Each structure stands twice: as C-alpha cells, then as structure tokens.
Amino acid sequence: MQKIFIPLSVFMLLFSACVTPKIHNALHAEYDKAKAEIERKDKKIMVLSEKVEQLEGDIATIKGQIAAMRKDSIQNGKALNSLQKSYDELSSAYDLLASKNSRNMAEKAKETKELLKQLEQAQNNLLTKEDELNELFNSLAEKEEALEKAQKELEARSARVAELESIINKKDSMVTALKRRISKALIGLEGEGLTIVQKNGKVYISLEEDLLFASGKYQVGAAGTSALNKLASALANQNDLEILVEGHTDSIPISKGLVKDNWDLSVLRATAVVKVLMSNPNLNPTQLTAAGRGEHLPFQSNTTSEGRAANRRIEIILAPNLDDLFDLLEE
C-alpha cells in the first residue's frame, strides 16, 4: 500500500479553515514551535552526521593504522626474534670470548711476568757487561800506559844496548889493535916460548918458564927481562887497560928456601914479572895485578914432561877497562 504524505503547511491550511481563530493561533504557535524544534533537531542531526562521517573517517584511519601496526608487529616480531637470536649468539660468543680472553689474559700475564723477568735479567746482564767493559777499558788504558812505558824503556834499553855495543866494539877494536901492537913489539919471540892469543875480548900472552926463569927460581933472567921491557913499552900510556899477571906451575911439589910450595913459587914469579914491567915509568901501577895460581889451572896434562913444561908459565892477561861499560849497565 502506498502511503500519501500531506505537507504540514497544507494540513494546517485545511485545518484552519475548519477551526476558530483562537484555536488557529494556538495551533499556529504550536506549529512554529514544532518547526523550530524540527530545525534545531535537523541542525543537530547535521552536526551529528558530520561527526559520524568524521568518526567513520577516524575509524577507517585507525583501522588502517591497526592493520599497519599489525603488519609492523609481525615484522617487528620477526625482527625481534632475529635480534633475540642474534643477541643469544652474540651473548654466547661474548661468553666464549670472555672465557678465552680470561685464559689469554692469564697466559699474557704469565708471559708478561716472564718477559719482565727476562728483561730484568737482560738489564742486569747489560749492567754486568758494562762493568766488564769499563774494567776492560780501564785495563786497556793501564796496558796501553804500561805498553807506552815498556816501549820507552825498550827504546832506552835499545839505546843503552846500542851504546854498549858501541863500547864493546870499541873495546874489541882496541884489543885487536893492542894484539897487533904487542905482536909487533915481541916479533921474533912468538913460537919461541911466547904465544899471543885474542879471545873473549882479551889478549892472552903466555910466556914459558924457560923464557923467564931458571928451573925452580923466581928471578927473571936477562932474556925474559928484555922481552918484558918490550912488552912494557907496548903497554905504556894505555891507561884504559887492566893487566893481570898470573904465575902457573906444574904438579911436582917444591920446597926450597922461601918457596915452600907451588903456591909460593907461582906468586913470587908473578910478582917478579910485575916488578920488571913496573920499571917502565909510563906504565901505571894501578893497572897491574899479580896472582899465583899454583898447579891448579894446568894448560896441559901433568902426566908427561912436555905437559908439565907447558904448565910452568906466566900468563899476562890484558883486558880493556870496562868501568864505563859497568857504569852504563848500572844506570
């Protein structure tokens, strides 16, 4: 069935034609009031409709946000799970590293302690080596000083040796010249009971008994005096000579007058020869020495007559005065 709606204004017009004016005014006032109420309600409805539309928009936005949040939550949950897993792995790795690090630190501490000990030992060794090196330097300095001193002493000794050699060479030259001079002075007598030998830096003049003395006697004969005077002339003014006159005998005992034994005979003969030499005024007596050797320095064996004849002799030993040499050696 179809409903027919009659507008309220039409209704009121129809109705007013049938009512009194008083009623009509009352109805019209009610109508205005109702109309105002309807307009107020309409405005309220419009406001509410706008709010509903706004709320529906907000609801849609919220639903979208909820959906997004749900999506984000799922993703965040997955991320959280992944992060949790990573965290657990990192935590395990950290615990393992911490454990290893603790062991490593302990080992490193031990190694460090050992290294410090080695370093201290090395430093001590270095100090010891430095002390040893300083001692070596000091020792080297002392040795260098000693070497320098020794070199100076060596140079001084070398100079002294050179000087000594010079003096010795000079003495040897002098002895050689002396032998030639004596040989020249006693020419003709060599081989006739007189021998002249140069050895050990000295000149040895040996005169047999027959050239100087009668058997068992200590007085020099004429031939012997002549030979000794020639020798004295060759030795005159030779102040740097030492002249030793030695008397020698054979081993046959003797006892005659002043001569009690061979000692006496050798001394008396040596003294007699010195006295003949001293007859030359140019011979310094301080250069002369007489000595008796008796039978104790034989020239040959006393078992034969020839040997005993050779042992009965006077030996005149001429030696250069070595005082200047000895003085040099004592410096």
What is the full per-residue pLDDT of the chain (331 aa) written as tens digits? Answer: 454 545 555 555 555 555 677 777 777 788 788 888 888 888 888 888 888 888 888 888 888 887 887 787 677 677 768 868 877 887 787 788 777 767 777 777 788 788 788 878 888 888 888 888 888 878 888 888 888 888 888 887 788 778 777 777 777 787 888 888 888 888 777 667 889 999 888 999 999 999 999 988 999 999 999 999 999 999 998 888 899 999 999 999 988 888 999 999 999 999 999 999 999 999 999 999 999 999 999 999 999 999 999 999 999 999 887 665 555 556 6
Q: What are phi and psi of 330, to 5 degrees?
A: -80, -10
As given in the structure block, the two tokens for residue 128 are 């010891």
Can you give the C-alpha Rg of the chain in angstroms?
79
Whole-prediction pTM: 0.52
SS3 of residue 261 by DSSP: coil
How many angstroms from the chain centroid is the CA of residue 229? 74
SS3 of residue 92 by DSSP: helix
Q: Residue 293: which region, alpha, beta or left (left: phi > 0; alpha: psi -120 to 50)? A: alpha
User: What gap in Å lies between CA 181 and CA 175, rounded to an integer?
Assistant: 10
Residues 6+ apart with CB under 8 A from 14: none
Kindly report the number of other CB atoms within 10 A of residue 267's CB atom.
Answer: 19
User: What gap in Å lies between CA 55 and CA 49, rounded to an integer?
Assistant: 10
Q: Which CATH architecture does the domain made up of 174-330 adopt?
A: 2-Layer Sandwich (3.30)
